[in-house]
C-alpha cells in the first residue's frame, strides 16, 4: 500500500567502500511507521547500517532523524537531546491509547467552559521536572513484556513511574468550545522519554476532566528541525546523489570542544589507549586528526583518565 501511495521504490546498489556516514532528516507522514522510513532510506541509500533517533508513532508526523553508517553510534546521544512538538488537546473524553487511535473509555460533558486562565494554569503546572506513568499502549517493558502486550491481552500490570523534564509547554491558540468539549493547540519542548499523549491526559487531570491528544507533529528532534527535512516521497524518487546532498556529516552533529591531535596522540587514540595527560574536564572532547573527526573521548572522574566514547575512524 505504501508503494502505491508514494510511488515505486528505487533500489540503490551497495558499493564497496561507499558507506555513507551522517544523518538525514525525514518529514515522516502519518500512517507510516518509523521502521518503514528506515527501511526505505536503507534501500534508497544502498546500505544496511541505518537507524533512527526517537520513534514516532504511526499517527504522528514530523521530524525523524535517521542515522547512517558510523553516525548510528550517536543514536543514544541524539535521542538524549530535547524534542519539540506541536499539536492539539481535546478536553471532554479519554481513550485507551491517550490519542485518537484507541477506543473511548471516558466521556464528560463540559457544560461550563473552562476559562483560558484555568487551562493555562493547568498547563503551567506541568512545566519543569515531572513524573509520568507511561501509557498502557506503549513500548515500555515490564517484566520482559512491553506494556502494549499486556494491554492487548487485557492483563493488569503495575506501570513504572518515569521522570521527564518539560522545558516549555504552552497553549498556542484560542480555546474552541463545541459539542460540550474544549480544544486548543499547544507547543511542548521536552526531554527524552516524555510521552506527549500522557502530557495531554495530565493536563485534563489537572482540571478534573478526561482529555486526549488529538493531533501531534514533531517539529524538532535532536536539534534538527522540519526546515532541514526532506519528504519521504523524495527519498524514494530522487537520485541517490541528490539524497546524499541532504546528509548532515558527523562533524556537524557534535557540539563538544574540539581537540586537534598530535601525531603521538593520534597513535594513542587510534589504538584505543587511555590518556592521563590531558586536563580534567566535564565535557567530552571531539578528537580531530588532519582536520577529520576521528573519535570522541570522555573524562572519567573516578580514575582521572580520558577514555574512548565513540570511534568513527581509526585509520
Give the pTM.
0.87
CA 124-109-196 angle, 5° bins: 35
DSSP state of 226: G
Confidence of residue 135 (pLDDT cuts 50, 70, 90): confident
Cβ atoms of residues 15 and 218 within 8 Å: no
* Residue 239 neighbours by CB under 8 Å, 6+ apart: none
Q: Could you read off the pLDDT of 53-76 as tens digits, one per residue?
A: 988 888 899 999 999 999 999 999
For each of the domains in the chain, give its residue range(s) and CATH number, in order of start.
2-81+223-250 (3.30.70), 83-214 (3.30.2350.10), 258-311 (2.30.130.10)
| pLDDT at position 6 over 70 | no
What's the chain's length in residues?
Answer: 315
Quick one: average pLDDT of 191-214?
Answer: 95
281 noted as active-site residue = no
Burial class (CB in 10 A: 0-12, 13-18, 19+), 234: middle
At 85, the pLDDT band (50, 70, 90 cuts) reads very high
Q: Which of 21, 57, 88, 99 is catalytic?
A: 57
Q: Which residues of 51-60 are buried (b: 16+ CB within 10 A; e: fewer)?
A: bbbbebbbeb
Question: 226, 221, 190, 209: which is closest to 89 by C-alpha?
Answer: 209
Radius of gyration of the CA atoms of the chain, in A: 23
Q: Are 188 and 128 in contact (CB under 8 A)?
A: no
The confidence band for 7, taking pLDDT boundaries of 50, 70 and 90, is very low
* Cα-Cα-Cα-Cα dihedral sign, residues 263, 268, 269, 275: negative
Amino acid at each position: 500500500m505504501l508503494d502505491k501511495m508514494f510511488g515505486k521504490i528505487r533500489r540503490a546498489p551497495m558499493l564497496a567502500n561507499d558507506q555513507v556516514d551522517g544523518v538525514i532528516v525525514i518529514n515522516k507522514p502519518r500512517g507510516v511507521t518509523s521502521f518503514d522510513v528506515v527501511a526505505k532510506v536503507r534501500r534508497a541509500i544502498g546500505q544496511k547500517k541505518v537507524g533512527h533517533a526517537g520513534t514516532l508513532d504511526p499517527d504522528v508526523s514530523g521530524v525523524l532523524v535517521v542515522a547512517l553508517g558510523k553516525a548510528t553510534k550517536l543514536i543514544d546521544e541524539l535521542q538524549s537531546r530535547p524534542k519539540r512538538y506541536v499539536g492539539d488537546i481535546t478536553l471532554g473524553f479519554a481513550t485507551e491509547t491517550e490519542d485518537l487511535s484507541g477506543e473511548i473509555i471516558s466521556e464528560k460533558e463540559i457544560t461550563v467552559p473552562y476559562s483560558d486562565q484555568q487551562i493555562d494554569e493547568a498547563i503551567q503546572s506541568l512545566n519543569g521536572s515531572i513524573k509520568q506513568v507511561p501509557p498502557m499502549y506503549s513500548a515500555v517493558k515490564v517484566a520482559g513484556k512491553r506494556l502494549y502486550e499486556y494491554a492487548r491481552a487485557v492483563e493488569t500490570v503495575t506501570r513504572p513511574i518515569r521522570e521527564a523534564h518539560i522545558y516549555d509547554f504552552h497553549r498556542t491558540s484560542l480555546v474552541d468550545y463545541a459539542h460540550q468539549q474544549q480544544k486548543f493547540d499547544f507547543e511542548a519542548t521536552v526531554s527524552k522519554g516524555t510521552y506527549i499523549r500522557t502530557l495531554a491526559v495530565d493536563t485534563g487531570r489537572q482540571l478534573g476532566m478526561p482529555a486526549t491528544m488529538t493531533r501531534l507533529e514533531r517539529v524538532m528532534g535532536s536539534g534538527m528541525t522540519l526546515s532541514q527535512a526532506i519528504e519521504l516521497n523524495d527519498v524514494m524518487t530522487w537520485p541517490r546523489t541528490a539524497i546524499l546532498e541532504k546528509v548532515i556529516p558527523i562533524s556537524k552533529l557534535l557540539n563538544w570542544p574540539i581537540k586537534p591531535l598530535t601525531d603521538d596522540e593520534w597513535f594513542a587514540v587510534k589504538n584505543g589507549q587511555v590518556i592521563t595527560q590531558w586536563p580534567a574536564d566535564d565535557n567530552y572532547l571531539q578528537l580531530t586528526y588532519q582536520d577529520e573527526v576521528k573519535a570522541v573521548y570522555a573524562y572519567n572522574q573516578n580514575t582521572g583518565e580520558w577514555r574512548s566514547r565513540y570511534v568513527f575512524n581509526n585509520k
